[in-house]
Amino acid sequence: MLERMAEPAEQSSAWCRELYQAHGAELLLYGRALGLSVAESEDTLQDTFVALLALAEPPGQPKHYALRAFRNRCLNHRRSLFRRIAREIESRCWFEPQDPHPNREEAAMECLSHLPTDQREVIVLKIWHQLTFDEIGSMLEISPNTAAGRYRYGMAKLRDRLLHTNYEPARTDGIGRAIEVLETA
């Protein structure tokens, strides 16, 4: 008897499991782009999927529904005063660099963290979630042209910042000093 009851529940949650496996990491990144910490993004993602599992049937567009639900939960989560204070303190190490010598990927993430939230959000939705400007505009309740403008201005800021970033670590082996001495001779 219990086995027959578990089967429909298992079948009804399959869409949710597939959605999580396909887009869970993207949603975490989106939460980070919206200004949440790693832990806050993970908590919000879990809350979102718990709510999705409680639905009687899958939504018509599961990916878009999950994105919208996750975004709404992230925005609600950010409104808390104590979490806002903690987020501001943590914002100095947004992507938590693990290596003192940043590579290009880390430099790009660092540059992304300096963008205004509205531009960062559109860039993450466009690149990682592969949404069109129409879909982004609908989701954020802005016009597609506004979404495209935020994307364009954000990408220009990223490009400018990345072009002026030195990816090579400073030399500490004394060779630079030897060349300096030779140039003065």
Q: Is residue 72 domain-shared with residue 114, that is, in the same domain?
A: no
Instruction: Name the domain count of the chain.
Output: 2
Q: Within a domain: residue 180? A: no
Q: Is residue 116 domain-shared with residue 67, that is, in the same domain?
A: no
Q: What is the pLDDT of residue 24?
A: 92
Q: What is the pLDDT of residue 82?
A: 62
Q: Is residue 60 domain-shared with residue 80, that is, in the same domain?
A: yes
pLDDT tens series, the chain, 185 aa: 334 334 445 556 889 999 999 999 999 999 988 888 899 899 999 999 999 999 988 999 999 999 999 999 998 887 775 666 766 666 656 655 555 545 666 777 788 888 998 999 999 899 888 899 999 999 999 999 999 999 999 999 988 887 876 545 444 555 444 445 445 44
Q: What is the pLDDT of residue 43?
A: 93
Domain C-terminal end among 93, 112, 144: 93
Residues 6+ apart with CB under 8 A from 153: 119
Return the CATH number at 127: 1.10.10.10
Q: Is residue 85 domain-shared with residue 138, that is, in the same domain?
A: no
Q: What is the pLDDT of residue 182?
A: 45
Q: Within a domain: residue 29? A: yes
Three-class SS string for 127-173?
Answer: HCCCCCHHHHHHHHCCCHHHHHHHHHHHHHHHHHHHHCCCCCCCCCC
By the 8 A CB rule, do 69 and 48 touch?
A: yes
Q: Within a domain: residue 158? A: yes
Structural domain of 33: 12-93
Q: What is the pLDDT of residue 37?
A: 87
pTM of the model: 0.57
Q: Within a domain: residue 123? A: yes
Q: Within a domain: residue 53? A: yes
Q: Is residue 34 domain-shared with residue 76, that is, in the same domain?
A: yes
Q: Within a domain: residue 139? A: yes
